[in-house]
Chains A and B, each alone.
Chain A
């Protein structure tokens, strides 16, 4: 069965680790990394990529426009 799957790409250089996307995500995909970027912020990343549905809620609330959202229909392997 084809199922809509999503994925996000975070611009880790621009991300300021405000964690608004972590709150906005309905399927708890995003977490803040233990690692930091050049400015010392814990950037957001997909900790649980299987759960992403590509709803773009994270992108909408991101103040720094550093999230790009992709969505595609993927064939489920049962």
Chain B
């Protein structure tokens, strides 16, 4: 068998590997974190479009605050929630560049709601990647605006009570109503098929940016195995059973 393996493992037979746009740094994320998959997909899309030199990313605050360590492109680090505002400035000053913001739910749907809504309403020509895991992962799993009803978190150990904490917010549906947004979709990265779909969505968003089609929003429903206190595989199952019921996958708007 070893000889057969040696025959197969040759550079010319390679069909899948690490993207050239990704750096060699080891990701600091927990095992099984969806951030890693989305980073990889963005890197692959940038590589396939050949826009590594023309892309500027805006890193958020949250677990992905160190995203600039992992993709070999130009980056800016925004204050908490202000990534769309910073991306607006970059895109207006350098309209020839591909600009994307990469944000979590605490960043995009909580502290940065105003920036997010107004950037989308103005129809800024940027791509916004929104990682929604329903929790504040970096600070220790506190309740976020996107936490599901009844879902346990560090600050709601008996589950989210809507009479006290309000209802979870579907920010993507809200943003889809604004005339400034072009392509709004919700995807996930829990299975190989879902990963392929998400990559297609990201590719489309970057292509649309070239065509000046307004704000492109890609929500990725994600897991936080550490915050949810589950193994990565259990977290994916939990997400399929609970998150997808409230955050159904699919395109919300395509103009």
Contacts and interface: CB of A to CB of B under 8 A. Distances in A.
A57 interface: yes
| Size bin of chain A's contact surface | 35 or more
A63 B14 contact: no
For the residues of A in contact with B, the DSSP-based class is: mixed
Interface in A1-31: 5-7, 9, 13-14, 16-20, 22-24
| Size bin of chain B's contact surface | 35 or more
Contacts of B30: 16
For the residues of B in contact with A, the DSSP-based class is: mixed
A9 B22 CA distance: 18
Contact of A71 (B4, B13, B27): B13
A8 to B, nearest CB: 9
Interface string A54-69: 1111011111111111
B45 to A, nearest CB: 14
B92 to A, nearest CB: 33
Interface of B: 1, 4-5, 7-10, 13-19, 22, 26-27, 29-37, 40, 189-192, 195-196, 225, 231-233, 236
Instruction: Give the top 3 A-B pairs by smallest Cβ distance, nearest first.
Output: A63-B36, A18-B32, A16-B31
